[in-house]
Amino acid sequence: MLDISQLRKDLDRVIAALERRRSPQPYLDVERFRSLESERKRLQSATEELQARRNSLSKQIGGRKAKGEDATELLAEVGGIGEQMKASADSLEVIQAELSAMLMGLPNLPHVDVPDGADETANREIRRWGEPRQFDFEARDHVDIGAPLGLDFDTGAKLSGSRFSFLRGPVARLHRALAQFMLDKQTDAHGYTECYTPYIVNREVLEGTGQLPKFEEEMFWVSRGGDEQHAVQYLISTSEISLTNSVREQVLAEGVLPIKLTAHSPCFRSEAGSAGRDTRGMIRQHQFDKVEMVQITHPDKSYEALEEMLGHAEAILQALELPYRVVLLCAGDMGFGSAKTYDLEVWLPAQQTYREISSVSNCEAFQARRMPTRFKNAQGKNELVHTLNGSGLAVGRALVAVLENFQNADGSVTVPEVLRPYVGGQALLKP
């Protein structure tokens, strides 16, 4: 959430920053905001005047009573002022609620380094690593490679509908191996604390990290006791939600920063509005696994942490020997809560293109203000932390990349060397 003082002090700059995101519809109803602010100021000024008048009358009442004089008229006026103050307070509460709702619907402001642009075509490539493999046979996609190894979309659809998969045998073991390797790398080499988090969270938790209210249509929800009219709790779309909110409503000691957390979890997304995109295979699923990285940092250290986390995600791809590129997202392609985001895109031979496998973002104080989470700084004052998150990596997409990049002409798949200890030493997965 943005600091409302930013809007009050420099509304034009905020509007200009929001316009960089290139939304088809303005994020902020400027005239409504100005009207609410004007009424808020009027009510607060009127309340202060009423409070001052009541204080003055109270002193006069005390003086009259001390002298044994009648204060009935003054007492009646004080009573009337109390009623006016209550009415003002009620009106102010309504206005503050609407202003708060406005703020909850505003995305983060792009960092100055973020390039302008409306969509992925304006993203800026930073670097590439590895050379795409040249095949001496016709490369197949992961659906055809994976089917003989246990990748089963028909059973997934039978059980749960479209965009669900069922893994068995060699491909299920490879999927588990990838997740375990990623967790080991993030904990042993990069210093993250492994966590196991709930997969179901409360509404205020999703509001804290920014999924609600903006993206409610993309969330799966569950109810208790047959209450189908109201969402009681939600399935997480990423463990960023539960990891980041693990410090919600806390004032942290400065010395504990940075806090580095990681978790492997399933993720559930309805992907509203994405019909027709990537309907074949595992690229876009309603349920997928991810190893998430989260850092809670001092504000002065968050952009240093962003580069560090990008390196932590890259290290996974390099260890797996998968070619990839790093892309800096433009303002119009960034997530709602992000101030700056890098995407890692892995090479997929069957598509002859790079596809996203990780996003690493600095949300600055945007999520911390919503949770809220602070730390006590060197001056002894409470200050908002900065929060960062990133995939380290998306397990299903990593599986896709391994199957396609390490496929062999006979239908087998070579197991990347770093994964072999996790699959009983096997060098090949064979149908």
Residues with catalytic roles: 269, 284, 356, 359, 397
Nearest to 395 by CA among 354, 363, 358: 358
CA distances from 354 to 334, 348, 357 (A): 18, 6, 9
DSSP 185: I
Nearest to 76 by CA among 48, 56, 57: 57
DSSP E strand boundaries for 98-145:
124-129
CA distances from 374 to 234, 242, 256, 366, 378 (A): 26, 17, 12, 12, 13
| Residue 288 tokens, joined | 């997928």
- Alpha carbon of residue 282 to chain centroid: 22
What lies within 8 Å, CB to CB, of 30 at 6+ separation is 11, 15
Upstream peptide bond of 183 is cis (omega within 30 degrees of 0):
no
B/e letters for 12-29, b = 16+ CB within 10 Å, e = fewer, are eebeebbebbeeeeebbe
Q: Is the dihedral of CA 305, 310, 313, 317 positive or negative?
A: negative
